[in-house]
């Protein structure tokens, strides 16, 4: 049984990380889930949240991801994220703008589904803010 798997994080602009990982915590739309080596196949959409990567060499990386897909098989995990930002690049100003955008989306929502998505995004952003900056 292998103790690592191949991990790739891809955004529309570029490949952000390609490495052997020991464990990755993924913010799936139905809840967070941890991918380990030999994980069962899964396909999940992403919700706004922190992707926490533990590399095979012991290093760690965190990324804020929003919108996209996670594809898991026993040997790999590929994250295709519409938006992915290294945790070290996040600051309060950026997060405040994201919350403002989500609040505007909530105010502009014309149906229950749009309202639910905007509310969920705003709630996740507030949770991230509380976790990172408080």
CA 112, distance to chain mean position in Å, is 24
Mean residue pLDDT across the chain = 92
Q: Which domain holds residue 42?
A: 5-87
Number of folded domains that form the chain = 2
Structure confidence at residue 1 as a pLDDT band (50, 70, 90): very low
Per-residue model confidence as pLDDT tens digits over 35-67: 999 999 999 999 888 899 999 999 999 998 988
Domain identity same for 39 and 13:
yes
- Going by C-alpha positions, the residue among 9, 14, 90, 95 that lies closest to residue 53 is 9
Paired tokens of 29: 């739309």
CATH number of residue 46's parent domain: 2.60.15.10
Per-residue model confidence as pLDDT tens digits over 83-114: 898 988 888 898 899 899 999 999 999 999 99
- Whether 18 shows a pLDDT value over 90: the answer reads yes
Domain identity same for 38 and 53:
yes
Domain identity same for 15 and 74:
yes
Q: CA-to-CA distance for 114 and 111, rounded, in angstroms?
A: 5
């Amino acid at each position: 049984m292998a103790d690592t798997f191949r991990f790739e994080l891809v955004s529309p602009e570029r490949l952000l990380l390609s490495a052997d990982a020991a464990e990755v915590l993924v913010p799936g739309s139905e809840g967070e889930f941890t991918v380990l080596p030999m994980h069962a196949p899964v396909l999940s959409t992403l919700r706004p949240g922190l992707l926490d990567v533990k590399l095979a060499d012991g290093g760690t990386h965190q990324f804020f991801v929003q919108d996209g897909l996670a594809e898991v098989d026993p040997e790999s995990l590929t994250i295709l994220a519409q938006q992915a930002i290294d945790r070290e690049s996040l600051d309060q100003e950026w997060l405040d703008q994201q919350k403002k955008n989500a609040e505007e989306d909530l105010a502009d929502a014309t149906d229950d589904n749009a309202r639910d998505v905007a509310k969920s995004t705003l709630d996740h952003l507030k949770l991230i803010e509380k976790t990172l900056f408080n």
